[in-house]
């Protein structure tokens, strides 16, 4: 499905990114494996993870090159795209998968913890997409696959930075889809639900938390890869601006914000009338301020 397509996968040295890259190579893609080899919090550098995935792809008969530039700068993103063009002569797709975590309860979160996470996730998705955009426009084709998260779509404890970045990525993807559809460029999101380094910091202080983590561990990163392969292929030519979630063997199409319920008052509203009439009418449609309505609290089908 990806024969001859050149695709850059960021954060591809392990976990979900690695499995996506391996699956794309099996489908004929030529890969740029980008990973700076940092810790989960984004510290340090190691060229080893990216090169090991390249070696794995080549051992399987595929073709790939390694890149260790950071997506957290425009220059780094340009270097990643330049690697694709230097090695293979073009770029056809990008998977914005690179990420870090700096979890902290909100009132204790530092400015540096906020900035670091947004730089990699939101700025990184922007920088990579922008670096590809001119090439995609010129060749009148291209696919962007962005990794979002249910932490952004639903919310999560201790992840205000990560949640804000991931919901920002979703909005970025939808706007790119609108801006570039006339150039046959697609932009879609996947909210992956799988055991990887990015979720290994989930606490297991209680039996309930341990049970939830044990369930997550059954959902491997390889389960995410088929959808990413499909979205990067020409078979997905009509799929644009969508948000999907993968949970084990299930694929969800996620809803996008639309009005749920409205109230009207011909004479207009006052704070008092909102309190007495408006808000009580709307309250029945409120969403819970927790994750009890999260699809991932359900048993897998």
CA distance 80 to 75: 9
User: Which residue reads 């109230």 in tokens?
Assistant: 263
Cα 245 off chain centre by: 10
* 276: CB partners within 8 A, 6+ apart: none
| End-to-end C-alpha distance for the chain, whole angstroms | 28
Task: Answer yes or no: are the C-beta atoms of 145 and 242 closer than 8 Å.
Answer: no
Task: Classify the C-alpha dihedral 161-255-199-78 as positive or negative.
Answer: negative
CA distance 73 to 271: 46
Which pair of structure tokens corresponds to residue 119? 């730089």
CA distance 75 to 131: 9
CA distance 185 to 192: 22
Task: Classify the C-alpha dihedral 269-271-274-276 as positive or negative.
Answer: negative
Question: Of the residues 123, 126, 127, 162, which is catalytic?
Answer: 162
User: Which residue reads 């962007």 in tokens?
Assistant: 144
Q: Active site includes 162?
A: yes
Known catalytic residues are 162
């Amino acid at each position: 499905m990806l024969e001859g397509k050149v695709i850059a996968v960021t954060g591809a040295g392990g976990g979900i990114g690695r499995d996506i890259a391996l699956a794309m190579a099996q489908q004929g893609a030529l890969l740029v494996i980008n990973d700076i080899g940092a810790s989960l919090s984004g510290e340090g550098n190691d060229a080893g993870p990216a090169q090991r995935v390249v070696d794995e792809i080549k051992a399987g008969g595929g073709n790939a090159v390694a890149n260790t530039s950071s997506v957290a700068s425009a220059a780094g993103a340009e270097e990643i795209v330049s690697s694709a063009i230097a090695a293979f002569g073009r770029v056809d797709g990008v998977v914005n998968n690179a990420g870090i975590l700096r979890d902290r309860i909100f009132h204790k979160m530092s400015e540096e913890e906020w900035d670091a996470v947004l730089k990699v996730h939101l700025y990184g998705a922007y920088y990579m997409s922008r670096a590809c955009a001119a090439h995609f426009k010129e060749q009148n084709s291209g696919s962007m696959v962005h990794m979002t998260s249910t932490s952004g779509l639903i919310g999560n404890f201790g992840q205000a930075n990560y949640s804000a970045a991931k919901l920002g990525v979703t909005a970025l993807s939808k706007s790119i889809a609108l801006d570039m559809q006339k150039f046959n460029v697609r932009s879609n999101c996947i909210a992956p639900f799988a055991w990887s380094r990015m979720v290994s910091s989930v606490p297991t202080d209680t039996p309930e938390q341990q049970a939830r983590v044990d369930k997550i561990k059954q959902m491997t990163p390889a389960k995410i890869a088929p959808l990413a392969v499909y979205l990067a292929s020409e078979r997905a030519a009509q799929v644009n601006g969508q948000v999907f979630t993968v949970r084990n063997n299930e694929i969800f199409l996620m809803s996008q914000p639309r009005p749920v319920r409205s109230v009207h008052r011909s004479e207009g509203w006052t704070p008092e009338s909102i309190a007495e009439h408006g808000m009580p009418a709307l309250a029945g449609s409120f969403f819970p301020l927790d994750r009890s309505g999260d699809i991932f609290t359900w048993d897998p089908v």
